[in-house]
Protein backbone atom coordinates (compact mmCIF):
# COMPACT_ATOMS: atom_id res chain seq x y z
CA UNK A 1 0.00 0.00 0.00
CA UNK A 2 1.29 3.48 -0.80
CA UNK A 3 2.16 5.44 2.30
CA UNK A 4 -0.18 8.40 1.62
CA UNK A 5 -3.78 9.07 0.79
CA UNK A 6 -4.22 10.24 -2.81
CA UNK A 7 -7.99 10.67 -3.26
CA UNK A 8 -7.72 12.92 -6.33
CA UNK A 9 -5.18 10.75 -8.13
CA UNK A 10 -7.17 7.62 -7.26
CA UNK A 11 -9.93 8.81 -9.56
CA UNK A 12 -7.51 8.44 -12.47
CA UNK A 13 -7.31 4.70 -11.91
CA UNK A 14 -10.75 4.14 -13.42
CA UNK A 15 -11.54 4.24 -17.13
CA UNK A 16 -10.18 2.22 -20.06
CA UNK A 17 -6.92 4.05 -20.78
CA UNK A 18 -3.78 2.69 -19.09
CA UNK A 19 -3.54 4.61 -15.81
CA UNK A 20 -0.21 6.21 -14.93
CA UNK A 21 -1.40 6.30 -11.31
CA UNK A 22 -1.95 2.53 -11.17
CA UNK A 23 1.44 1.98 -12.79
CA UNK A 24 3.21 4.22 -10.30
CA UNK A 25 1.47 2.45 -7.41
CA UNK A 26 2.60 -0.89 -8.79
CA UNK A 27 6.16 0.37 -8.94
CA UNK A 28 5.83 1.60 -5.36
CA UNK A 29 4.62 -1.83 -4.22
CA UNK A 30 7.41 -3.53 -6.07
CA UNK A 31 10.01 -1.32 -4.34
CA UNK A 32 8.52 -1.92 -0.91
CA UNK A 33 8.37 -5.68 -1.53
CA UNK A 34 12.10 -5.53 -2.40
CA UNK A 35 11.60 -7.84 -5.33
CA UNK A 36 14.89 -9.32 -6.57
CA UNK A 37 16.54 -8.00 -3.38
CA UNK A 38 17.70 -4.79 -5.01
CA UNK A 39 19.87 -2.54 -2.80
CA UNK A 40 18.04 0.66 -3.69
CA UNK A 41 20.41 3.61 -3.99
CA UNK A 42 17.74 6.29 -3.64
CA UNK A 43 14.84 6.28 -1.14
CA UNK A 44 12.61 3.22 -1.40
CA UNK A 45 9.51 5.38 -1.14
CA UNK A 46 10.41 7.71 -4.04
CA UNK A 47 7.25 6.68 -5.91
CA UNK A 48 5.05 7.28 -2.88
CA UNK A 49 6.52 10.73 -2.44
CA UNK A 50 6.10 11.52 -6.11
CA UNK A 51 2.43 10.54 -5.92
CA UNK A 52 2.23 12.62 -2.73
CA UNK A 53 3.66 15.77 -4.26
CA UNK A 54 1.49 15.29 -7.34
CA UNK A 55 -1.60 14.92 -5.17
CA UNK A 56 -0.65 18.16 -3.40
CA UNK A 57 -0.32 19.90 -6.76
CA UNK A 58 -3.73 18.53 -7.81
CA UNK A 59 -5.18 19.98 -4.62
CA UNK A 60 -3.55 23.38 -4.87
CA UNK A 61 -3.37 23.69 -8.64
CA UNK A 62 0.32 24.66 -8.44
CA UNK A 63 3.60 22.99 -9.27
CA UNK A 64 5.88 21.98 -6.36
CA UNK A 65 9.27 21.80 -8.05
CA UNK A 66 11.87 24.48 -7.43
CA UNK A 67 13.16 26.63 -10.25
CA UNK A 68 15.83 25.13 -12.52
CA UNK A 69 18.66 22.86 -11.40
CA UNK A 70 22.20 22.45 -12.72
CA UNK A 71 23.60 18.94 -12.43
CA UNK A 72 25.42 16.69 -14.85
CA UNK A 73 28.36 14.43 -15.47
CA UNK A 74 31.99 15.43 -15.99
CA UNK A 75 32.96 16.01 -19.59
CA UNK A 76 29.46 16.90 -20.70
CA UNK A 77 27.52 20.15 -20.43
CA UNK A 78 24.10 18.55 -20.71
CA UNK A 79 22.07 15.35 -20.64
CA UNK A 80 20.65 15.65 -17.13
CA UNK A 81 17.74 17.86 -16.07
CA UNK A 82 18.17 18.75 -12.39
CA UNK A 83 15.05 19.06 -10.28
CA UNK A 84 14.36 19.63 -6.56
CA UNK A 85 11.06 19.47 -4.68
CA UNK A 86 10.04 22.68 -2.92
CA UNK A 87 8.66 20.68 0.05
CA UNK A 88 11.65 18.42 0.79
CA UNK A 89 10.68 17.85 4.45
CA UNK A 90 7.22 16.65 3.48
CA UNK A 91 8.46 14.59 0.51
CA UNK A 92 12.08 13.57 1.23
CA UNK A 93 11.91 10.78 -1.36
CA UNK A 94 11.82 13.37 -4.14
CA UNK A 95 14.00 16.08 -2.55
CA UNK A 96 16.24 15.38 -5.56
CA UNK A 97 14.36 14.18 -8.61
CA UNK A 98 16.70 14.59 -11.59
CA UNK A 99 15.88 13.38 -15.07
CA UNK A 100 18.48 11.56 -17.14
CA UNK A 101 18.17 11.65 -20.93
CA UNK A 102 19.50 8.51 -22.59
CA UNK A 103 20.08 8.50 -26.34
CA UNK A 104 17.67 6.06 -27.98
CA UNK A 105 18.31 3.89 -31.04
CA UNK A 106 16.96 5.47 -34.24
CA UNK A 107 13.21 4.79 -34.57
CA UNK A 108 13.19 3.03 -31.17
CA UNK A 109 13.64 -0.63 -32.03
CA UNK A 110 14.65 -2.64 -28.98
CA UNK A 111 15.43 -6.11 -27.79
CA UNK A 112 13.96 -7.23 -24.46
CA UNK A 113 17.47 -7.99 -23.30
CA UNK A 114 18.62 -4.40 -23.70
CA UNK A 115 15.53 -2.93 -22.04
CA UNK A 116 15.94 -5.38 -19.17
CA UNK A 117 19.50 -4.21 -18.57
CA UNK A 118 18.35 -0.57 -18.63
CA UNK A 119 15.59 -1.38 -16.14
CA UNK A 120 17.94 -3.25 -13.82
CA UNK A 121 20.22 -0.22 -13.75
CA UNK A 122 17.37 2.20 -13.22
CA UNK A 123 15.65 0.15 -10.51
CA UNK A 124 18.93 0.06 -8.65
CA UNK A 125 20.03 3.70 -9.02
CA UNK A 126 16.84 5.58 -9.81
CA UNK A 127 13.12 5.72 -9.15
CA UNK A 128 12.21 2.96 -11.62
CA UNK A 129 9.93 5.50 -13.34
CA UNK A 130 10.51 6.42 -16.96
CA UNK A 131 9.12 8.27 -19.92
CA UNK A 132 9.24 6.14 -23.06
CA UNK A 133 10.10 8.48 -24.73
CA UNK A 134 10.67 12.21 -24.42
CA UNK A 135 9.15 14.13 -27.33
CA UNK A 136 12.61 14.78 -28.78
CA UNK A 137 13.19 11.02 -28.73
CA UNK A 138 15.32 10.26 -25.66
CA UNK A 139 14.71 7.41 -23.27
CA UNK A 140 13.88 9.39 -20.14
CA UNK A 141 14.90 8.15 -16.69
CA UNK A 142 12.62 10.05 -14.32
CA UNK A 143 14.00 10.76 -10.89
CA UNK A 144 17.33 10.13 -9.18
CA UNK A 145 19.75 11.84 -6.81
CA UNK A 146 22.88 13.83 -7.72
CA UNK A 147 25.28 11.22 -6.23
CA UNK A 148 23.91 8.60 -8.61
CA UNK A 149 24.54 10.53 -11.83
CA UNK A 150 28.17 9.54 -12.40
CA UNK A 151 27.37 5.98 -11.31
CA UNK A 152 24.57 5.72 -13.85
CA UNK A 153 26.74 7.28 -16.53
CA UNK A 154 29.59 4.84 -15.82
CA UNK A 155 27.25 1.88 -16.00
CA UNK A 156 25.56 3.14 -19.19
CA UNK A 157 28.82 3.73 -21.03
CA UNK A 158 30.90 0.83 -19.71
CA UNK A 159 28.35 -1.96 -19.60
CA UNK A 160 25.47 -0.97 -21.85
CA UNK A 161 27.54 0.84 -24.51
CA UNK A 162 25.02 3.61 -24.31
CA UNK A 163 25.38 7.41 -24.18
CA UNK A 164 23.38 10.30 -22.79
CA UNK A 165 21.10 12.45 -24.92
CA UNK A 166 21.34 16.20 -25.30
CA UNK A 167 20.07 19.15 -23.30
CA UNK A 168 20.95 22.83 -23.14
CA UNK A 169 22.13 25.16 -25.90
CA UNK A 170 23.39 22.42 -28.17
CA UNK A 171 22.44 19.82 -30.73
CA UNK A 172 19.66 17.84 -29.09
CA UNK A 173 19.09 14.14 -29.62
CA UNK A 174 18.14 13.55 -33.27
CA UNK A 175 15.24 11.23 -34.15
CA UNK A 176 13.66 9.82 -37.32
CA UNK A 177 10.64 7.98 -38.59
CA UNK A 178 11.08 4.22 -38.89
CA UNK A 179 11.97 4.72 -42.56
CA UNK A 180 13.02 1.83 -44.74
CA UNK A 181 12.77 -0.59 -41.81
CA UNK A 182 9.05 -1.05 -42.44
CA UNK A 183 7.59 1.54 -44.76
CA UNK A 184 7.33 1.30 -48.54
CA UNK A 185 7.35 5.10 -48.91
CA UNK A 186 10.77 5.74 -47.37
CA UNK A 187 12.78 7.77 -49.89
CA UNK A 188 16.04 7.37 -47.99
CA UNK A 189 17.35 5.45 -45.00
CA UNK A 190 16.22 7.90 -42.33
CA UNK A 191 17.51 5.71 -39.49
CA UNK A 192 20.95 5.49 -41.00
CA UNK A 193 21.21 9.23 -41.65
CA UNK A 194 19.90 9.92 -38.13
CA UNK A 195 22.48 7.57 -36.64
CA UNK A 196 25.38 8.81 -38.77
CA UNK A 197 24.74 12.48 -38.00
CA UNK A 198 24.24 11.72 -34.30
CA UNK A 199 27.67 10.08 -34.25
CA UNK A 200 29.28 12.76 -36.42
CA UNK A 201 28.16 15.57 -34.13
CA UNK A 202 28.68 14.02 -30.69
CA UNK A 203 30.72 17.02 -29.55
CA UNK A 204 27.99 19.43 -30.54
CA UNK A 205 25.46 17.24 -28.73
CA UNK A 206 27.30 16.86 -25.42
CA UNK A 207 28.95 20.24 -25.01
CA UNK A 208 26.74 23.25 -25.53
CA UNK A 209 28.45 25.65 -27.92
CA UNK A 210 25.46 27.19 -29.66
CA UNK A 211 23.47 30.38 -29.09
CA UNK A 212 20.51 28.13 -28.26
CA UNK A 213 19.14 24.62 -28.78
CA UNK A 214 19.19 23.01 -32.24
CA UNK A 215 17.32 19.91 -33.36
CA UNK A 216 17.55 17.49 -36.29
CA UNK A 217 14.69 15.27 -37.37
CA UNK A 218 14.47 12.90 -40.30
CA UNK A 219 11.26 12.07 -42.14
CA UNK A 220 11.70 9.59 -44.97
CA UNK A 221 8.72 11.03 -46.89
CA UNK A 222 6.42 14.06 -46.75
CA UNK A 223 3.89 12.29 -44.51
CA UNK A 224 6.11 13.48 -41.68
CA UNK A 225 5.79 10.67 -39.14
CA UNK A 226 8.37 12.28 -36.85
CA UNK A 227 6.97 15.78 -37.53
CA UNK A 228 10.35 17.17 -38.51
CA UNK A 229 8.82 20.16 -40.28
CA UNK A 230 7.33 21.36 -37.00
CA UNK A 231 9.71 20.07 -34.35
CA UNK A 232 13.24 20.49 -35.65
CA UNK A 233 15.44 23.43 -36.57
CA UNK A 234 16.76 21.36 -39.45
CA UNK A 235 14.21 19.09 -41.05
CA UNK A 236 15.17 16.36 -43.53
CA UNK A 237 12.20 15.16 -45.57
CA UNK A 238 12.52 12.43 -48.17
CA UNK A 239 11.17 12.80 -51.70
CA UNK A 240 11.81 11.71 -55.29
CA UNK A 241 12.18 13.61 -58.57
CA UNK A 242 11.17 11.14 -61.28
CA UNK A 243 7.82 9.48 -61.94
CA UNK A 244 5.37 7.84 -59.57
CA UNK A 245 5.33 4.15 -60.51
CA UNK A 246 1.83 3.00 -61.42
CA UNK A 247 0.61 -0.60 -61.36
CA UNK A 248 -2.49 -0.30 -63.57
CA UNK A 249 -3.82 -3.73 -62.59
CA UNK A 250 -3.77 -2.74 -58.95
CA UNK A 251 -5.44 0.58 -59.82
CA UNK A 252 -8.25 -1.45 -61.46
CA UNK A 253 -8.46 -3.64 -58.36
CA UNK A 254 -8.91 -0.54 -56.19
CA UNK A 255 -11.53 0.87 -58.60
CA UNK A 256 -13.30 -2.49 -58.62
CA UNK A 257 -13.46 -2.62 -54.83
CA UNK A 258 -11.11 -5.58 -54.47
CA UNK A 259 -8.60 -3.64 -52.33
CA UNK A 260 -9.69 -1.24 -49.60
CA UNK A 261 -8.45 2.32 -49.98
CA UNK A 262 -5.87 3.76 -47.55
CA UNK A 263 -4.91 0.28 -46.40
CA UNK A 264 -8.33 0.01 -44.74
CA UNK A 265 -7.70 3.05 -42.50
CA UNK A 266 -11.32 4.21 -42.73
CA UNK A 267 -12.92 0.79 -42.29
CA UNK A 268 -14.57 1.93 -39.04
CA UNK A 269 -17.24 3.86 -40.92
CA UNK A 270 -19.28 3.26 -44.08
CA UNK A 271 -17.99 5.80 -46.61
CA UNK A 272 -19.64 3.99 -49.56
CA UNK A 273 -17.77 2.14 -52.31
CA UNK A 274 -14.36 3.53 -53.27
CA UNK A 275 -14.69 6.29 -55.87
CA UNK A 276 -11.32 6.83 -57.51
CA UNK A 277 -12.41 10.04 -59.20
CA UNK A 278 -13.75 11.58 -56.01
CA UNK A 279 -11.19 10.31 -53.53
CA UNK A 280 -8.02 10.61 -55.56
CA UNK A 281 -8.25 12.53 -58.83
CA UNK A 282 -10.46 15.33 -57.53
CA UNK A 283 -8.38 15.69 -54.36
CA UNK A 284 -5.01 15.98 -56.07
CA UNK A 285 -3.81 19.50 -55.12
CA UNK A 286 -2.29 20.21 -58.53
CA UNK A 287 -5.02 18.40 -60.53
CA UNK A 288 -2.36 16.50 -62.45
CA UNK A 289 -4.15 13.12 -62.52
CA UNK A 290 -6.78 11.71 -64.85
CA UNK A 291 -8.22 8.46 -66.18
CA UNK A 292 -7.72 7.55 -69.83
CA UNK A 293 -8.99 4.31 -71.41
CA UNK A 294 -9.39 2.82 -67.95
CA UNK A 295 -5.82 3.72 -67.02
CA UNK A 296 -4.63 6.18 -64.37
CA UNK A 297 -2.38 8.91 -65.76
CA UNK A 298 -0.17 11.32 -63.84
CA UNK A 299 1.52 14.40 -65.23
CA UNK A 300 4.55 14.06 -62.93
CA UNK A 301 5.97 17.45 -63.95
CA UNK A 302 3.04 19.04 -62.11
CA UNK A 303 3.08 16.66 -59.15
CA UNK A 304 4.20 18.21 -55.86
CA UNK A 305 4.60 14.78 -54.24
CA UNK A 306 2.06 15.45 -51.51
CA UNK A 307 1.65 11.69 -51.00
CA UNK A 308 -2.16 11.69 -51.16
CA UNK A 309 -2.61 9.30 -54.09
CA UNK A 310 0.07 6.97 -52.73
CA UNK A 311 -1.55 7.06 -49.30
CA UNK A 312 -4.92 6.10 -50.78
CA UNK A 313 -3.62 3.36 -53.09
CA UNK A 314 -0.45 1.97 -51.51
CA UNK A 315 -0.60 -1.21 -53.56
CA UNK A 316 -1.00 0.59 -56.88
CA UNK A 317 1.24 3.66 -56.62
CA UNK A 318 4.87 3.80 -55.57
CA UNK A 319 7.49 6.44 -54.98
CA UNK A 320 9.89 7.13 -57.85
CA UNK A 321 13.35 5.61 -58.17
CA UNK A 322 15.38 8.84 -58.20
CA UNK A 323 15.26 9.56 -54.47
CA UNK A 324 16.70 12.05 -52.04
CA UNK A 325 15.48 14.56 -49.52
CA UNK A 326 14.57 18.20 -49.00
CA UNK A 327 16.05 20.28 -46.19
CA UNK A 328 13.86 22.79 -44.37
CA UNK A 329 15.08 25.21 -41.72
CA UNK A 330 13.79 27.15 -38.76
CA UNK A 331 10.89 25.34 -37.08
CA UNK A 332 10.33 26.38 -33.45
CA UNK A 333 7.66 26.81 -30.76
CA UNK A 334 6.16 30.27 -30.10
CA UNK A 335 8.72 31.76 -27.67
CA UNK A 336 9.99 34.43 -28.37
CA UNK A 337 8.64 35.79 -31.63
CA UNK A 338 6.01 33.27 -32.72
CA UNK A 339 5.83 29.66 -33.85
CA UNK A 340 7.49 28.65 -37.10
CA UNK A 341 7.53 25.58 -39.28
CA UNK A 342 10.52 24.70 -41.42
CA UNK A 343 11.11 26.78 -44.59
CA UNK A 344 12.39 25.05 -47.71
CA UNK A 345 16.11 25.63 -48.16
CA UNK A 346 17.35 22.70 -50.28
CA UNK A 347 14.62 21.34 -52.59
CA UNK A 348 16.51 18.15 -53.45
CA UNK A 349 19.74 16.58 -52.29
CA UNK A 350 20.92 13.00 -52.58
CA UNK A 351 21.09 11.10 -49.30
CA UNK A 352 24.04 8.82 -49.88
CA UNK A 353 26.85 7.83 -47.52
CA UNK A 354 29.03 9.47 -46.33
CA UNK A 355 26.47 12.28 -46.59
CA UNK A 356 29.12 14.93 -47.24
CA UNK A 357 26.79 17.25 -49.14
CA UNK A 358 24.29 17.20 -46.29
CA UNK A 359 27.00 17.81 -43.69
CA UNK A 360 28.20 20.80 -45.71
CA UNK A 361 24.76 22.40 -45.53
CA UNK A 362 24.56 21.75 -41.78
CA UNK A 363 28.00 23.13 -41.04
CA UNK A 364 27.50 26.23 -43.18
CA UNK A 365 24.31 27.00 -41.25
CA UNK A 366 26.02 26.42 -37.92
CA UNK A 367 29.03 28.60 -38.82
CA UNK A 368 26.69 31.46 -39.57
CA UNK A 369 24.29 31.04 -36.65
CA UNK A 370 27.07 30.47 -34.09
CA UNK A 371 28.63 33.74 -35.15
CA UNK A 372 25.53 35.86 -35.71
CA UNK A 373 22.87 34.26 -33.51
CA UNK A 374 21.98 36.25 -30.41
CA UNK A 375 21.83 34.67 -26.98
CA UNK A 376 18.87 32.25 -26.94
CA UNK A 377 17.85 32.98 -30.50
CA UNK A 378 16.68 29.96 -32.48
CA UNK A 379 17.88 29.66 -36.06
CA UNK A 380 14.31 30.42 -37.20
CA UNK A 381 14.50 33.76 -35.43
CA UNK A 382 17.96 34.53 -36.81
CA UNK A 383 16.48 33.91 -40.27
CA UNK A 384 13.66 36.34 -39.55
CA UNK A 385 15.98 38.99 -38.17
CA UNK A 386 18.72 38.80 -40.80
CA UNK A 387 16.67 37.61 -43.76
CA UNK A 388 16.29 34.40 -45.74
CA UNK A 389 18.68 35.82 -48.29
CA UNK A 390 21.53 35.74 -45.76
CA UNK A 391 20.81 32.07 -45.16
CA UNK A 392 21.06 31.45 -48.90
CA UNK A 393 24.34 33.34 -49.10
CA UNK A 394 26.00 31.47 -46.23
CA UNK A 395 24.89 28.10 -47.57
CA UNK A 396 25.88 29.01 -51.13
CA UNK A 397 22.44 28.15 -52.45
CA UNK A 398 21.16 30.29 -55.33
CA UNK A 399 17.69 31.74 -54.79
CA UNK A 400 14.95 29.93 -56.72
CA UNK A 401 11.16 30.22 -56.93
CA UNK A 402 10.76 27.10 -54.78
CA UNK A 403 12.15 29.10 -51.85
CA UNK A 404 8.93 31.08 -51.50
CA UNK A 405 5.26 30.34 -51.26
CA UNK A 406 4.66 33.73 -52.85
CA UNK A 407 6.79 36.74 -53.78
CA UNK A 408 6.86 39.66 -51.38
CA UNK A 409 4.02 42.15 -51.71
CA UNK A 410 5.78 45.16 -50.20
CA UNK A 411 8.35 47.11 -52.23
CA UNK A 412 10.97 47.57 -49.48
CA UNK A 413 13.62 45.87 -51.53
CA UNK A 414 17.30 46.01 -50.59
CA UNK A 415 19.88 46.12 -53.35
CA UNK A 416 23.55 45.46 -52.96
CA UNK A 417 25.64 48.48 -53.87
CA UNK A 418 27.52 46.59 -56.58
CA UNK A 419 24.26 45.72 -58.29
CA UNK A 420 23.39 49.37 -58.83
CA UNK A 421 25.22 51.36 -61.54
CA UNK A 422 27.10 54.24 -59.91
CA UNK A 423 26.93 52.86 -56.37
CA UNK A 424 25.72 54.81 -53.31
CA UNK A 425 28.24 57.66 -53.22
CA UNK A 426 26.44 60.62 -54.79
CA UNK A 427 27.09 64.36 -54.64
CA UNK A 428 24.10 66.57 -53.92
CA UNK A 429 25.74 69.39 -55.91
CA UNK A 430 25.64 67.27 -59.01
CA UNK A 431 21.93 66.67 -58.43
CA UNK A 432 21.35 70.40 -57.86
CA UNK A 433 23.00 71.19 -61.20
CA UNK A 434 19.94 69.63 -62.79
CA UNK A 435 17.27 70.27 -60.12
CA UNK A 436 16.80 73.68 -58.51
CA UNK A 437 16.05 73.85 -54.81
Partner 1 sequence: MAVVEFKGNQFEVDEDGFLQRFEDWNPEWVEYVKESEGIKELTDEHKKVIEFLQDYYKKNGIAPMVRILSKVTGFKLKHIYELFPSGPGKGACKMAGLPKPTGCV
Residue with smaller CB distance to partner 1, 44 or 336: 336
CB of 191 to partner 1, least distance (A): 27
Residue with smaller CB distance to partner 1, 210 or 236: 210
CB of 388 to partner 1, least distance (A): 23
CB of 365 to partner 1, least distance (A): 15
The SS3 of residue 201 is coil
Alpha-carbon span 247 to 163, nearest angstrom? 45
CB of 145 to partner 1, least distance (A): 11
Q: Are 27 and 128 in contact (CB under 8 A)?
A: yes
CB of 68 to partner 1, least distance (A): 5
Angle value at C-alpha 343, between 240 and 284, nearest 5 degrees: 50
Residue with smaller CB distance to partner 1, 29 or 363: 363
CB of 205 to partner 1, least distance (A): 13
Q: What are phi and psi of 313, to 5 degrees?
A: -125, 65
Which residues form the interface with partner 1 (CB under 8 A)?
66-78, 81-82, 84, 96, 167-169, 203, 207-211, 213, 370-371, 375-376
Residue with smaller CB distance to partner 1, 209 or 230: 209
CB of 70 to partner 1, least distance (A): 5
Residue with smaller CB distance to partner 1, 325 or 331: 331
CB of 150 to partner 1, least distance (A): 10
For 102-105, the CB contacts below 8 A with 24+ separation are 102/138, 102/139, 102/140, 102/141, 102/156, 102/162, 102/163, 102/164, 102/165, 103/138, 103/139, 103/162, 103/163, 103/164, 103/165, 103/173, 103/198, 104/133, 104/137, 104/138, 104/139, 104/165, 104/173, 104/175
Residue with smaller CB distance to partner 1, 55 or 204: 204
The SS3 of residue 204 is helix
- Quickly list H helices, 94-201: 112-125, 149-159, 190-200
Alpha-carbon span 356 to 340, nearest angstrom? 28
Alpha-carbon span 118 to 105, nearest angstrom? 13
Residue with smaller CB distance to partner 1, 149 or 177: 149
Residue with smaller CB distance to partner 1, 134 or 324: 134
* Other beta carbons within 10 Å of 437: 5
Amino acid sequence: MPKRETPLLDQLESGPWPSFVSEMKRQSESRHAKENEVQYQIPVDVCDDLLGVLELSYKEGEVHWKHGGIVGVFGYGGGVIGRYCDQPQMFPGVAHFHTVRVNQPAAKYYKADFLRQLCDLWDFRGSGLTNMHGSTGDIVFLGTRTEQLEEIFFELTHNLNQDLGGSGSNLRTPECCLGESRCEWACYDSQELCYQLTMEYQDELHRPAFPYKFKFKFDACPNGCVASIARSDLSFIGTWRDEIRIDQEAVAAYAGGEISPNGGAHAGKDWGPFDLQKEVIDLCPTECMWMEDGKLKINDKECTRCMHCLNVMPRALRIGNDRGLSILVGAKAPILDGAQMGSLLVPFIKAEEPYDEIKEVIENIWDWWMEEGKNRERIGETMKRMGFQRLLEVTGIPPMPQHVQEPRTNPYIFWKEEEVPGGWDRDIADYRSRHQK
